[in-house]
Amino acid sequence: MNLKDTIRQMAAEISSDIINIRRHLHRHPELSFHEFETSVFVCQKLEELDIPCQLVAETGVLATIHGGLGPGRVIALRADMDALAIDDQKTTDYRSQNRGVMHACGHDAHTAILLGVARILKNLAPTFRGDVRLIFQPAEEIMPGGAVDMIREGALNNPEVGLVIGQHVAPHLPVGTVAVRKGHFMASMDELSIRIKGKGGHGAEPHKLIDPVLAASTIVVILQQLISRKNNPSVPSVLSFGRFVANGTINIVPDEVMLEGTFRSMDERWRESALSQIRQMATSIAIGLGCECDVTIRNGYPSLINPIATAEKISSDMKFFLGEEKVMDHPVWMASEDFAYYTRETDSLYYLLGVGMEDREAVPLHTSLFDINEKAIETGMGVMAYIVLSNLEA
């Protein structure tokens, strides 16, 4: 039996076990930097496979599978483990048992799949040369993210990792498929808080006020024009304000207004320039209308770039394993991911795994009804294991 068929058979044989692991994790989600029970559970499963592991960065897990043919290339596989502060509204028997916490982004599937890949590769260890590093990472969902801590704790060293691979479930893609973006894939993300201070008072007497609501409204509109007119149109960029708090009443203008939003970009030079211009423009508008302005920018994850040569090589591996029609090119995605920090340290690839439902419309990520088509778990395990073994040889 060739390697492809061997991995397919192994993934099929353990699929039900890994689905049960995924359901266990789904029932017991934990928020970012609080994945205490999850990390203990992961270590237990690794130890059952005779894979030594260590807890790092408080709730992260590192482990290594050594190839039986001796030292060689080192490939790292990363899965994130944290859940979101969302109340699970599904009626499945594996719905979250932790009120207000839910795996609404598929990290339970990521973790379960990596445990399945570990099982496959451990069984095949006598046949390959090199090492496979397993990175079970906490806190992808909130800044500063867990990737920085994992890297600081040695996730990519001793021995040095030459390639790091990650995947993310995608409900908009059919089950059994994967999608790859060559080059710029995901956006950077920075958080903005803008506090505008004026002088409130009676709505009937605007001449006696310094209106922060007017200033804040002007800032929202003008900043959108700044992004659209100063940015190169070929560079995707998005500025969105999701919070506008003016705690007055129908006839009382408040003393201050708070704006909060995010800025996303695919270009790091433009990102730096845009944030500087946002600060300057917001402050100038507020002062011009008689207000004070305090702009706080919290820098988040950098943009994620898949090296083109690596993406082409691994896409070819995927097509051989799944069939050419099952591997798609994906457009730019303006979401952000702290996997981007790994990409800045070594060669890397981040791709999407189709988990779309066959009998109903897909439910988006980060929503209270989110779920996956569990058939995708077998695909996810198989393709990741094959990528590893193909590229260890390379």
Q: Tell me which residues are annotated as active site.
A: 82, 140
Name the helix (H) or strand (E) containing 354.
strand 348-356
DSSP annotation string for 170-230: EEEEETT-EEE--EEEE-EEEEEEEEEE-B-EETT-GGG-B-HHHHHHHHHHHHHHHHHHH
Please tell me the distance from the alpha carbon of residue 45 to that of residue 21, in angstroms, as a whole number.
9
Please tell me the distance from the alpha carbon of residue 271 to that of residue 336, in angstroms, as a whole number.
14
* Helix %, strand %, coil % of the chain (to 5): 40, 25, 35
Cα 77 from chain centroid? 14
Main-chain dihedrals φ then ψ at residue 107, nearest 5 degrees: -70, -25
The answer to whether the CB of 114 falls within 8 A of the CB of 79 is: yes
Whole-Å CA distances, 193 to 91, 122, 299, 361: 38, 48, 11, 36
Closest CA to 351 of 302, 321, 390, 387: 387
Strands 163-174 and 348-356: parallel
Tokens of 214: 């007017």
